[in-house]
Amino acid sequence: MQLRLISCLSVIPVVLAVVHTAGADNAEPRPHLQVPPASTTPKMDASETDPAWASAALIPTLGVSLGKPGEGLAPIPTQVRLLWDEKWLYIRFTCAAGEIYSPFTHHGDKLYQGDVVEVFLDPKGDAKQWLEVEVSPNNVTMEVQTVLTAEPKSDANLLLDREIITRDWWNNVDYTLPGLRTAASVKKVGEKVTGWTVDIALPGKELMRRMGSAKLSPMTMRANFMRYEYPAPPKPDAKRSLIAMNWAPVMWGSPHVSPSAMGYITLVAAGNGKQ
C-alpha cells in the first residue's frame, strides 16, 4: 500500500528512540563522519577534475551488507565524499567497475534492480521519517520518502518490527524530491569501462522542513550510503547476482526498513576539521 506524502524533513542532533533486543546480530558500532563546509562549491558535473571535492570528508570504502546472500563476496572499490553549505548537502560516489548494468531510463524506475548508488537520510534522526535517493550510472533517479506512524521498534538485526512494517510503515515510491540535483559520468579506457561517478546535491530547504527552517547549519543526522552492483554472470544465460554494499552495516536487501542501522554524519562549522 502506498501513501502520497509531502516532504517534511528536518535536521537536528537527536538519539533514536528505538528498542533493541539483547545480543544483537548487527551489533557493530554505527560509523560517524564529520563533514566540513565546502570552501569551493562543487560544479555538480561528476568530473574528476572538480577541485571542490579535495577538501571533502571521505568514506574510503563500503563493506558488503550482512546476511547469507552477501557471504563470501568481496566489496567493489567505492568511495563516498561529502561537503555541505547552507543550501545543499553534497555527496559524491566514485565507483570502480568493469561494466555498467543499468537498463532503466525513466525517473522512478526500479533502479535497485541494476547498478546504482543510494543515499538514506534521516535528518531529524528519530526514525520516523527518512529519505532515499537512488542514482544510476546513466543519471536516472528514484526518490522514496518513508514515514512511520508508530514509535519505531527494531529487532536484533536492526530491522523494523514486522508488525510495524505491516501497519505503520508508509513507503511513498512515487515521491519526487523538489530541487534535487544530480550528475553522472562513466569512465572508459578505450572502449572498456573502468568506473563511474555520481554527484548528488540534496536541497537544505527540503531537508530542514520538519524544523521550519530553510537552511542547513552545524548538526548531526542519521545516514547510510549504499551501492548495488550486478556483475556479469560467468555464463551468458545465468542470472546476475547482487553485491549489496553499505557504509553502516545493514542486513542484505533491507536498508529501507532499517532506520536504526544508519550511521551518523555531523555537519561541522568552518575550522572544526573532520574525521
- What DSSP line would sit under 120-149, residue for residue? EEESS-SSSEEEEEEE-TT--EEEEEEEES
Residue 16 lies in a domain: no
**Cβ count within 10 A of residue 8:** 13
Which residue range(s) make up the domain with 254?
A: 32-41+56-267
Residue type, 121: L
Residue 200 lies in a domain: yes
Q: Give the alpha-carbon dihedral of 166, 131, 33, 210, to 10 degrees.
A: -100
What is the pLDDT at residue 237? 84
Residue 64 lies in a domain: yes
148 CA to centre of own chain: 19
Distance CA 218, CA 204 (A): 12
Residue 231 lies in a domain: yes
How confident is the model over 164-174, as a mean pLDDT?
96
How confident is the model over 184-192, as a mean pLDDT?
95
How confident is the model over 71-89, as a mean pLDDT?
94
pLDDT digits (tens, 9 = 90+) for 2-17: 333 333 333 323 333 3
CATH number at residue 81: 2.60.40.1190
* Tally of structural domains, the chain: 1
pLDDT digits (tens, 9 = 90+) for 229-265: 999 888 888 899 999 999 999 999 999 999 999 999 9
Report percent pLDDT > 90 for the chain.
Answer: 81
Residue-averaged pLDDT of the chain: 89
Residue 237 lies in a domain: yes
Residue 11 lies in a domain: no
**What is the model's pTM?**
0.89
Q: Which three cell numbers stand for residue 141?
A: 533517479
Residue 25 lies in a domain: no
pLDDT digits (tens, 9 = 90+) for 17-53: 333 333 347 888 999 999 999 999 999 999 999 999 9
Q: What are the residue ranges of helices labelled H in 9-115?
A: none
How confident is the model over 143-157, as a mean pLDDT?
96
